[in-house]
Structure 1
Amino acid sequence: MEDQKSLNSIIDVCLLAGKIMLENGAETYRVEDTMIRIASAFGCKESQSFSTPTGIIFSLDGDYPISKVIRISHRSTDLHKVTLVNSISRSVTNKELTVREAYIKLKELEKANVAYPLWIQIFAAFISSGCFTIMFNGQWNDFIWACIAGGLGFACLLYLHRLLEVRFFAEFIASFVIGIAAFLFMYAGLGSELDKIIIGAVMPLVPGLLITNAARDLIAGHLVSGLAKGADAGLTALAIGAGIAVAFVIL
């Protein structure tokens, strides 16, 4: 590589790509592989990457060895952004983008909001809650009540995630709302199976992607990331269960 400045630009592109992927639900091994491939495409054949759910360390070896660290403070699920980063990575590998062009595209992607509108997300949770109730051998007359409880809980989750920075509190309150709604439906004589309504309604809150990524990271040998994501998923599930339990105690 030419000089220290060009190496800094390359490592900035790699870190930005890794940050976007890690913040939006990508597996740790995929993040590291993408960063190394981008560096290799720009001529840096010797690079090292170490990623955890809370930070990334990336280094380039050679005549001008350099290392940088970036912290990951926000994590969510947006696999569309992960796909777009992979697309940019493929363009870099095919020599279709320069370092500067890749950095600009990644910056634009980082700021872009490519998620579905909130009403679509809530409607999807609304429908899936009823479908999960039927899938778990619930009765059709509980379908709509599970839909309503699940939609209310998921709307509460989205609102609290925007309002508060406290981890797991949003999941606790959302599941509590679901428990209260399910009890009210049963108390009014509208529902027939309380457990099936609650199970179906909480399913959109369950951190399925996080659990899957934790297992895949452990299988790939990333023990630190796998255990950290597993702990995160476990605490999220605990918060969901605690919310339902409090609703049971109160009512």
Structure 2
Amino acid sequence: MEQKTSIYETIELCLLAGKIMLQSGAETYRVEDTMVRIATAFGLSESHSYVTPTALIFSTSGEQPAKLIRIEDRTTDLDKIALVNAISRRIALGELTAQEAKALLLQAQSASLNYKLPVQILAAALSSACFLIMFGGGWYDFPAAFLAGGAGFAASVYLHRLVQVKFFAEFSAALLVGLLALLFIWAGFGHEFDRIAVGSVMPLVPGLLITNAIRDLMAGHLVSGISKGADACLTAFAIGAGIAVALIFFR
């Protein structure tokens, strides 16, 4: 009975670690590797894990039924990924018991490691303006890109919280960016629409998602790679459609 309880605790620990990493934007291979390493450290050397962007499946060679966890919300939080990696290394070195590791993982899961929303908006605004310069824009359009990029990012975050439809939030944010860019040009506050619009939508571009999709495809995780690539393409389409609607109907 004690052995079954230990196996059950190990499975729950592996699933918890994998869930935190997958929700934080980790690559599929990293999640699977971490789960298997944790299981091996606690004596389950024949364990198997299967990860997709929306689900975690973990099995221990028939001793326990396979367990599945559904993943609904995903974001980007590299700090949490690093924390789980550090905890898994300590487990592999024998420095943590299952109970201690679970407590640390629960603490990492509930921790708010992201910057506050005003800081994120400010960073998005500043990066938008810097992208404008990088793409060949002039310093005279720096304030316009700063304001449009910050407003677009803030709209994306707010709309995603209001309506759990990612496409709608990104489309609306890009539309707002396009409208602001046109408004600034009409008011004489900006000069080059294309530079302002491209720089301002860069914080919305799913760069990490594209990178992970390519990495998963190269590692042979075809399901995860294709699904992440499709998600990235849908986001890119939403951004492009928002700017296109602004140009077609309001220019």
Q: TM-score normalised to the size of structure 2?
A: 0.97
Indicate the residue corresponding to 2:67 in structure 1: 68
1:120 to partner: Cα distance: 0.9
Q: Which stretch shows the higher mean deviation, 143-152 or 161-170?
A: 161-170
Could you list the runs of 4 or more consecutive aligned residues of structure 1 that deviate by over 2 angstroms after TM superposition?
A: none
Counterpart residue identity of residue 223, structure 1: L
1:38 to partner: Cα distance: 0.5
Give the distance between the partners of 2:249 and 2:79, measured in 1 at CA.
40
Is residue 223 of structure 1 aligned with residue 222 of structure 2? yes
Give the distance between the partners of 2:87 and 2:38, measured in 1 at CA.
9
% identical aligned pairs: 60
Indicate the residue corresponding to 2:43 in structure 1: 43
Indicate the residue corresponding to 1:58 in structure 2: 58
Indicate the residue corresponding to 1:82 in structure 2: 81
Indicate the residue corresponding to 2:246 in structure 1: 247
Indicate the residue corresponding to 2:188 in structure 1: 189
Counterpart residue identity of residue 13, structure 1: L
**Cα deviation digits, residues 53-93 of structure 1 (max 9, x gap):** 0001101126x243211110111111111111111111111
Paired residue secondary structure (1:128): helix
Indicate the residue corresponding to 1:9 in structure 2: 9
Q: Which stretch shows the higher mean deviation, 239-248 or 209-218?
A: 239-248
Indicate the residue corresponding to 2:198 in structure 1: 199
Indicate the residue corresponding to 1:211 in structure 2: 210
Indicate the residue corresponding to 1:26 in structure 2: 26
5+ residue gaps, structure 2, are none
Paired residue secondary structure (1:168): helix
Paired residue secondary structure (2:210): helix
Is residue 145 of structure 1 aligned with residue 124 of structure 2? no
Counterpart residue identity of residue 243, structure 1: G
Give the distance between the partners of 2:173 and 2:145, measured in 1 at CA.
14
Indicate the residue corresponding to 1:177 in structure 2: 176
Give the distance between the partners of 1:98 and 1:168, measured in 2 at CA.
43
Indicate the RMSD between aligned Cα atoms, in angstroms. 1.2
5+ residue gaps, structure 1, are none
Q: TM-score normalised to the size of structure 1?
A: 0.97
Q: How many residues in Structure 1 have an aligned counterpart in Structure 2?
A: 250
Give the distance between the partners of 1:161 and 1:116, measured in 2 at CA.
17
1:2 to partner: Cα distance: 5.4
Counterpart residue identity of residue 85, structure 2: N
**Cα deviation digits, residues 25-55 of structure 1 (max 9, x gap):** 0000000000000001111111101000000
Indicate the residue corresponding to 1:168 in structure 2: 167
**Cα deviation digits, residues 111-146 of structure 1 (max 9, x gap):** 221111101100110100010000001111011110
Give the distance between the partners of 1:83 and 1:59, measured in 2 at CA.
25
1:189 to partner: Cα distance: 1.4
Indicate the residue corresponding to 2:121 in structure 1: 122
Give the distance between the partners of 2:133 and 2:14, measured in 1 at CA.
45
**Cα deviation digits, residues 174-218 of structure 1 (max 9, x gap):** 101100000001001121111000000000000000000000000
Counterpart residue identity of residue 8, structure 1: Y
